[in-house]
Amino acid sequence: MAFNSRQYEWADLTLILGGRDVTGFRGIKYSEKIEREAIFAKGRDAHSIQSGNSTVEGEITLLQSEYEALVKSGKGSVLSLSLDALVAYGNPANADPIITDRLLGIRFTESAKELKQGDKMMEITLPFIALRVQNQV
C-alpha cells in the first residue's frame, strides 16, 4: 500500500461565496466554538462538563475588486448580505480526496478599507459570523 504524505496547499483551495467562484481572495479563517463549564457539587472535583451555545466566526481577506463585486451584490454594503460559502480543499489532478466545509448563513460584521504608501494593491479583511459549519468528506 502506497503512502501519500502530500499536504493541502494554497493552490488546492477553492472558495465559492454566494454561489460564485472567488478568484481574488487572499485568505480565509474560520472557527467553531462552544461554551463549556465545569459543574461542581459535593467535593472539590467537577461532576460534569456542561455545554452551552455554539458559535462560528471567521474572516475572509479579498482583493478590492472582489470586495467591490460583493458591495454591488449587496446593493451598496456588504453588511446587508447573507451568504453561504463552500471551502474545498484538494486537487483532483493529484487524486487528492476533496474535503468540503460549508459555512451557512455568513453575515459580515465589519467593513473597513485601508491603503498605505507603497502598497501595490488593496486587501480588505471582512470579519464574519455564521450559523454553522457542515464538514463533508
Domain ranges for the chain: 12-136
Q: List per-residue pLDDT tens for the chain, 137 residues long.
A: 555 667 788 988 999 999 999 999 999 999 999 999 999 999 999 999 999 999 999 999 999 999 999 999 988 999 999 999 999 998 777 777 888 999 999 999 999 999 999 999 999 999 999 999 998 76
Q: What is the pLDDT of residue 98?
A: 86
Distances (CA, A) of 113 to 46, 87, 92: 47, 24, 36
Exposed e or buried b per residue across 23-38, where buried means at least 16 C-beta atoms within 10 angstroms of its C-beta? ebbeebebeeeeeeee
Q: What is the pLDDT of residue 25?
A: 96
Region of 72 (left: φ > 0; alpha: ψ -120 to 50; beta: rest) is: alpha
CA gap 137, 119 in Å, rounded: 39
Q: Are 56 and 30 in contact (CB under 8 A)?
A: yes
CA gap 62, 93 in Å, rounded: 26
β partners of residue 83: 106
CATH superfamily of 12-136: Hcp1-like (2.30.110.20)
Q: What is the pLDDT of residue 136?
A: 78
C-alpha cell at 44: 472539590
Strands (E), the chain: 13-17, 20-21, 25-40, 46-63, 83-89, 99-108, 123-130, 132-136
